[in-house]
């Protein structure tokens, strides 16, 4: 069964172009005094490179050493910089409290059981300043595909959480959030926007209120 480390070892730079809304977010961040940004689950660094190039001070955090090595290589080639850490998002993040102006996390936090997702959300809250931004994207549960080869054979392990038994991400937990759950999980935040992006992921843009 693959895990993200094996996926990156096999596929290398799997994601290259930044999320479609990253330019808009960079403008919003800039006009609201954001300086320091954490990319939680940064993978091979597409957003580290984009945001560093845009002049922000960026930190990246991911559990895949291979992905982080690829991110460092990318940044070096472009003479960009980022503070990069290996670690697991369900454990304490290697950052002090209230040190980031924004945390982004693109297609990451759903890769756990709910009790671990709640630990991750607590850590996001801890490292983010009051008034800081989050931009989080998560997949939604679509209809069962018509072509059997595209069927991930999702095995439900708890309410809303499935482990695919087939496909490129087999063995990796996927929690499919409902809109209500996102409101509940991020209840310490004022939700500014919640919408579907062009890759069928639900996006949450919010500000930490207390």
Ligand X SMILES: C[S@@+](CC[C@H](N)C(=O)[O-])C[C@H]1O[C@@H](n2cnc3c(N)ncnc32)[C@H](O)[C@@H]1O
List interacting residues with ligand X (CB under 6 A). 4, 15, 41-43, 46, 62-64, 67, 88-90, 106-108, 111
**Which is nearer to ligand X, 4 or 177 (by Cβ)?**
4
Both structure tokens of 162: 């499935």
Cβ proximity to ligand X: between 86 and 190 the closer is 86
Which H or E run contains 151? none
Q: How far apart are CA 194 and CA 179, in angstroms?
A: 8
In the complex, minimum distance from the CB of residue 46 to ligand X, in angstroms, rounded to a whole number = 5
Residue 135, C-beta contacts closer than 8 angstroms, at least 6 positions apart: 21, 25, 102, 103, 104, 105, 106, 203, 204, 205
Residue nearest to ligand X (CB): 43
Q: Looking at beta carbons only, is 20 or 190 nearer to ligand X?
A: 20
Terminal Cα distance for the chain, rounded = 41
> Minimum distance from CB of 147 to ligand X (Å)?
22
Minimum CB–partner distance for residue 111 and ligand X (Å): 4
| Minimum gap (Å) between residue 169 Cβ and ligand X | 8
Given the complex with ligand X, which of 84 and 108 has the nearer CB atom?
A: 108
Q: How far is the CB of 116 from ligand X (least distance, A)?
A: 7
Contacts of 35 (CB under 8 A, 6+ apart): 56, 57, 101
Question: What are the structure tokens assigned to 108, written together?
Answer: 């990451």
Supply 172's token pair: 């990796």
Nearer to ligand X, 46 or 202 (CB): 46
């Amino acid at each position: 069964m693959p895990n993200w480390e094996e996926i990156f070892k096999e596929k290398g730079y799997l994601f290259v172009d930044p999320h479609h809304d990253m330019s808009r977010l960079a403008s919003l961040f800039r006009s609201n005094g954001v300086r320091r940004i954490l990319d939680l689950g940064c993978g091979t660094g597409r957003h580290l490179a984009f945001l560093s190039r845009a002049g922000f001070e960026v930190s990246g955090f991911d559990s895949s050493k291979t992905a982080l090595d690829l991110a460092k290589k990318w940044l070096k080639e472009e003479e960009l910089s980022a503070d990069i850490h290996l670690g697991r998002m369900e454990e304490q993040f290697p950052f002090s409290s209230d040190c980031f102006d924004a945390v982004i996390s693109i297609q990451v936090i759903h890769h756990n059981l709910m009790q671990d997702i709640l630990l991750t959300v607590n850590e996001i809250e801890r490292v983010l300043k009051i008034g800081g931004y989050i931009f989080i994207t998560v997949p939604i549960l679509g209809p069962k595909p018509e072509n059997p080869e595209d069927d991930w054979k999702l095995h439900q392990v708890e309410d809303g959480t499935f482990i695919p038994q087939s496909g490129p991400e087999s063995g990796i937990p996927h929690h499919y959030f409902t809109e209500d759950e996102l409101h509940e999980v991020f209840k310490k935040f004022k939700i500014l926007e919640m919408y579907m992006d062009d890759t069928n992921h639900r996006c949450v843009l919010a500000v930490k209120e207390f």
